[in-house]
């Protein structure tokens, strides 16, 4: 019974993850609002951040739910946040505490505004109104999805699918028109006595007479414009792929004012002469000169995909796209970017015999002899290599496309004949047997790294990774299934315990952990009985390791998260 309780406690601690990059967190941020004293930012995965010093420091709040917020606004001493499944939360203490409200709908709510003593929220086939500070809401069903809403000149205007525009004085009765543009409109604001709406493929629509007539014009930017705000005679619009544009002539001409970043932006607000934009990778930027210069208000490693992590003499090394290599000597608290000298994606890194070796897309293989401080190139590979593994003795093994298997002492590389054309994705060693897995259900075994045998096992699903522990080989599949074997000959299939696709699996500290797309996690004591874990993110996860009683997982958007395994 005591051992069982220890196992239960171990699983419980695996539900407690902390962000190490980006900071304070790395979930997608979708909206920002301010009362001119406090900034409040919201996003997916119950993300609420507040700052009382305009972004110098941040406090993570959350509601204790699984809420994913789409939009937040401020008026009448009240912040109101709306989002997926009709969620509505309000706060009257600058975002410190939140109260959930009943919306009466399960439709996604995309935007919210305030005017004429009324909050108005819009979403998928619904428009909601509240005249008691967001406490109660009345519902107006509509036959379309609306993505943006604003108030100006005593008029509410909402925009949505296929250029549909709705106009209302009080926020409850709406007149609809759709003769402006066929493009979807995603956001709208009011400034300088003009309504400006933006949307699909860079479309900009303006109205100077409260929405009675509109002028539609495509900007020079073909990216979907997802948000717009106004301050001090300037409009600023944002979108994906680092799109930030501004206009000082009421939306007639626009110029690129984006910061130097790989971020997609989804939310924008303004306070006096300062614009605040938020987006992917948990990024928050501010500008007080209309985008001529930007200040990053969060701590970020700019790498869209961190694909593999390893520990070398208490130094953590993580590799990713664009030749990115980062190291941490303080247990993951701070990270330093290293110079790799290459630009291709690095998918995997391994450590053994004092050497770090990184492989990936076609290009030079990298080696470091000083714990990742400096790197040099080995003979370039013309092939895609997905995983490198050290056998604990004297050999590195790399696997990749078209059944490729290479072995190396860290300097010289020898190609082996695998007898398979599958894209090989994972490798492990246990009980004297090497096991490699890959696409189309490929399972290969060898006892000498020279002769490989295909397992007599049928599945068309890709097997993404494999590990060995507790006398068991355990592999994870792309569709969420598990595969187990005690001898690498006879295999059992275990049905998924959570929806999603796994990418990696690890056995360490007497426990199995699997991770995958959209942040899914699962754990098992014996490799057979699995249960899902609470993940702190929807970001795709591509690597997991154990170091000094901690687990580290890395993934897209520069994600690095840590869990203390006590």
Task: Tell me the per-residue pLDDT of 419-442, one tens digit each, with 9 for 90 and over.
Answer: 999 999 999 999 999 999 999 999
Q: What is the pTM of this model?
A: 0.91
Strands 99-101 and 29-34 come out as unpaired
Q: What does the block give as tokens for 546?
A: 């154990």
On whether the CB atoms of residues 457 and 414 are closer than 8 A, the answer is no
Q: Could you read off the pLDDT of 283-325 as tens digits, one per residue? A: 999 999 999 999 999 987 777 788 899 999 999 999 999 999 9
Sheet holding 541-547, edge to edge: 18-21, 560-564, 550-555, 541-547
The whole-number average pLDDT for the span 239-249 is 96
What does the alpha-carbon distance between residue 240 and residue 25 come to, in Å, rounded to a whole number? 20
82-91 per-residue burial string, b: 16 or more CB within 10 A, e: under 16: bbbebbbbbb
All domains in the chain, ordered by first residue: 23-296 (2.130.10.10)
Q: What local confidence, expressed as pLDDT, does residue 410 receive?
A: 87
Strands 385-390 and 472-477 come out as unpaired
Identify the band that residue 11 occupies on the pLDDT scale cut at 50, 70 and 90.
low
Three-class secondary structure of residue 32 per DSSP: strand
Q: What local confidence, expressed as pLDDT, does residue 10 receive?
A: 54
Identify the band that residue 2 occupies on the pLDDT scale cut at 50, 70 and 90.
very low
What φ, ψ does residue 26 adopt, rounded to 5°?
Answer: -120, 10
Q: What local confidence, expressed as pLDDT, does residue 460 receive?
A: 84
The whole-number average pLDDT for the span 352-365 is 94
What does the alpha-carbon distance between residue 228 and residue 234 come to, in Å, rounded to a whole number? 11
Cis peptide before 22 (omega within 30 of 0): yes
Kindly report the average pLDDT of the chain as a whole number.
Answer: 93
Cis peptide before 28 (omega within 30 of 0): no
Cα dihedral angle (486, 492, 498, 503), rounded to 10 degrees? 60
Statement: residue 144 has pLDDT above 60: yes
């Amino acid at each position: 019974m005591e051992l069982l309780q220890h196992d239960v406690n171990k699983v419980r601690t695996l539900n407690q993850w902390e962000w190490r990059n980006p900071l304070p967190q790395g979930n997608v941020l979708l909206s920002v609002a301010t009362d001119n004293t406090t900034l409040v930012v919201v996003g997916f995965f119950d993300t609420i951040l507040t700052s009382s010093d305009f972004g110098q420091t941040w406090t993570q709040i959350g509601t204790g739910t699984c809420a994913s917020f789409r939009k937040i606004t401020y008026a009448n001493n009240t912040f109101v946040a709306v989002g997926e499944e009709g969620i509505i939360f309000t706060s009257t203490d600058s975002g410190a505490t939140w109260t959930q409200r009943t919306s009466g709908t399960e439709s996604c709510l995309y935007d919210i505004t305030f005017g004429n003593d009324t909050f108005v929220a819009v979403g998928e086939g619904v428009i909601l109104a509240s005249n008691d500070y967001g406490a109660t809401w009345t519902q107006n069903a509509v036959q379309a999805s609306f993505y943006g809403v604003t108030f100006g000149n005593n008029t509410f205007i909402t925009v949505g699918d296929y250029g549909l525009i709705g106009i209302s004085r009080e926020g409850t009765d709406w007149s609809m028109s759709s003769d402006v543009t066929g493009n979807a409109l995603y956001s709208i604001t009011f400034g300088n006595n003009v309504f400006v709406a933006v949307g699909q493929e860079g479309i900009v629509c303006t109205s100077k007479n409260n929405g009675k007539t509109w002028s539609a014009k495509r900007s020079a930017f073909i990216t979907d414009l997802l948000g717009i705000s106004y301050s001090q005679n300037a409009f600023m619009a944002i979108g994906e792929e680092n799109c930030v544009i501004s206009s000082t002539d009421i939306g007639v001409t626009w110029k690129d004012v984006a910061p130097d970043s790989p971020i997609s932006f989804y939310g924008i607000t303004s306070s006096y002469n300062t614009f605040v934009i938020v987006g992917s990778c948990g990024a928050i930027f501010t500008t007080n000169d209309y985008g001529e210069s930007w200040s990053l208000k969060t701590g970020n490693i700019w790498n869209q995909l961190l694909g593999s992590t390893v520990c070398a003499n208490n130094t953590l090394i993580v590799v990713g796209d664009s030749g990115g290599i980062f190291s941490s000597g303080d247990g993951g608290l701070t990270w330093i970017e290293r110079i790799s000298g290459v630009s291709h994606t690095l998918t995997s890194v391994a450590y053994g015999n004092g050497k770090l070796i990184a492989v990936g897309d076609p290009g030079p293989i990298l080696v470091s002899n000083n714990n990742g401080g400096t790197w040099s190139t080995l003979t370039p590979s013309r092939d895609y290599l997905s995983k490198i593994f050290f056998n604990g003795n004297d050999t590195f093994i790399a696997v990749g496309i078209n059944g490729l298997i290479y072995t190396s002492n860290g300097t010289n590389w020898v190609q082996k004949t695998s007898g398979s054309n599958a894209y090989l994705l994972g490798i492990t060693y246990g009980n004297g047997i090497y096991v490699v897995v890959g696409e189309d259900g490929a399972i290969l075994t060898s006892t000498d790294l020279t002769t490989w045998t295909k397992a007599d096992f049928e599945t068309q699903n890709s097997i993404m990774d494999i590990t060995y522990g507790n006398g068991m080989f355990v592999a994870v599949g792309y569709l969420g299934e598990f595969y187990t074997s005690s001898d690498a000959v006879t295999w059992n299939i275990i049905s998924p315990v959570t929806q999603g696709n796994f990418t990696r699996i690890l056995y360490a500290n007497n426990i199995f952990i699997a991770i995958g797309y959209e942040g899914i996690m699962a754990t098992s004591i014996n490799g057979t009985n699995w249960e899902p874990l609470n993940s702190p993110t929807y970001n795709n996860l591509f690597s997991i390791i154990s170091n000094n009683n901690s687990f580290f997982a890395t993934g897209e958007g520069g994600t690095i998260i840590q869990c203390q395994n006590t």
